[in-house]
Amino acid sequence: MYKDHGVWCVASHLPSPHMPIDYTFFKGSPNGYEEAAMKVEALEPMQVLVKVTHAGICGSDVLYQPAPIAQGHEGVGTVQEVGSGVTEFKVGELVGWGFMHKSCGRCEHCVAGYDSYCVKREAHGQHDFTVGAFASHAIWDASILYKVPEGVAPEEAAPIMCGGATVFQVVDENDIKTTDRVGVVGIGGLGHFALQYLSKTGATVVAFSTTEGKKDEAFKFGATEFAVIGSEEFKKVAPLNHIVVTSNTLLDWTEWMGLLKHRATIHLLTLDFTAVTLPALPLVVNGVNVKGYAPGGRKHVQNALKFAVQHKIKPMIETFPFTKAGLEEGLAKLKEGKFVSFRVTQAPSPRPDSHRPDARGRRYMLARRTPQFRAALRCVKYSTALETTDLLDKYRTLVSQGRIQYDEDQVRVVIDEPLGSMFA
């Protein structure tokens, strides 16, 4: 905050204040999630500090849960600080990130816009073992962050960062026509995204499930037709141009080949360690294509977010508290596989000083932290000193509550917030 020609202004861009950053995260273990702490001396020039507000629980989180690394990769939160070289993000902006952590930017795949296939890619579970979405804060290179557009709520944006973007590749990378017939196998987290996306292309969308209980949900998300796998209705389904597999259910591809048109495409989206057995003769003589998809890269995340705004795509979500118990409950429900919805953990409002070890219980002078702030901030009544970056988030609220007081050379903020753990 600074005074310009007698008018108080709020800075919208802050460089890193070069003070230690403490944050808390959940790491995995064979016995469940464990809370851990991390300290970083300062942001690097191209890094961004994000206060996590929401995180999606993705299917692949089941695979990584036993590993002693930071958990979660579908994160959304607000920018708290930026490195000295960051220009595209400002403090207070809502941003998100997904499965990919970094790419080289130079290989043939990166140059073509397919950074998730980079030969030197760094992804969740392989790099940055102390940074994840199940955390109070996260520090990321600015290149892998995405601005969440207006029209997409943070709890809706979290699942799009990985699950939604991965599914959206089917729309983004294939010329799906209004005259096409597209099958979607599975009506879970990925499947309900697929039904919504594909229905907006104008194609006829056929939903396949192992149970009749998903029928109403399938039509709600945009399916034109519905069939239970293996039923008499299933055998009568007209041939398909595309089939999108979003389920880990093992399919008898000999049976499914009869539902595919010549030169149809099979799209495989889920991570699975089992073998996919395809009958060679119909695959070859009918010219059937098989495509696999890594988690969505930069252009797919950005396009999925734009598409969500344009077509009002909204994931069905179920929220849990951002606690050890909340995360484990969400993961348990995901393993059960009985629900359509994505699981989203929603953070409570953390204390303003949660990433600064020396901010608590003392008066805080902004002028000491950032030269841009020519005025000083003094907490008149407080239990927790107000963070510079937190002030930017809360400034309008404080003004509306009459808690901003102006003097000739100081701004006083009257604030009284209880201390407490980020995960309490």
Dist. CA 68–CA 49, nearest whole Å: 23
User: Is residue 238 in some structural domain?
Assistant: yes
Q: Are residues 109 and 199 in the same domain?
A: no
Q: What residues contact residue 334 under an 8 Å CB cut-off, 6+ apart?
A: 57, 59, 61, 62, 343
Among 69, 5, 36, 74, which Cα is nearest to 344's?
Answer: 74
Domain assignment of residue 308, yes or no: no
What confidence tens digit (pLDDT) does each residue in 389-415 have? 444 344 444 444 555 444 434 444 444
Predicted confidence pLDDT, tens digits, the chain (424 residues)? 434 444 444 444 444 446 789 999 999 999 999 999 999 999 999 999 999 999 999 989 999 999 999 999 999 999 999 999 999 999 999 999 999 999 999 999 999 999 999 999 999 998 889 999 999 999 999 999 999 999 999 999 999 999 999 999 999 999 999 999 999 999 999 999 999 999 999 999 999 999 999 999 999 999 999 999 999 999 999 999 999 999 877 789 999 999 999 999 999 998 777 888 999 999 999 999 999 999 999 999 999 999 999 999 999 999 999 999 999 999 998 888 765 566 777 765 444 344 444 433 322 222 223 333 333 333 333 223 333 344 434 444 444 455 544 443 444 444 433 333 333 3
Domain of residue 12, CATH code: 3.90.180.10
Name the DSSP letter for residue 115. Answer: G
Strands 410-413 and 47-57, how do they pair? unpaired
DSSP state of 247: S
CA distance 374 to 278: 69
- The answer to whether position 252 is within a domain reads yes
Find where tokens 């988030």 sit. Answer: 393
Per-residue model confidence as pLDDT tens digits over 128-160: 899 999 999 999 999 999 999 999 999 999 999
pLDDT at residue number 31:
94
We report the CATH number of the domain holding residue 241 as 3.40.50.720
What pLDDT sits at residue 376?
33
Task: Give a yes or no: residue 281 inside a domain.
Answer: yes
Task: Give the count of domains, the chain.
Answer: 2
Residues 47 and 100 in one domain: yes
Residues shown for the chain: 424
Q: b or e along 235-246 (b: 16 or more beta carbons within 10 Å of the residue's beta carbon)? A: eebeebbbbbbb
In this structure, are 27 and 94 located in the same domain?
Answer: yes
Structural domain contains residue 405: no
Mark whether 121 and 29 lie in a shared domain: yes
Question: Do strands 410-413 and 376-379 pair parallel, antiparallel, or not at all (unpaired)?
Answer: parallel
* In a domain? residue 421: no
CA distance 285 to 62: 38
Print the domain residue range for 32.
Answer: 2-148+316-346
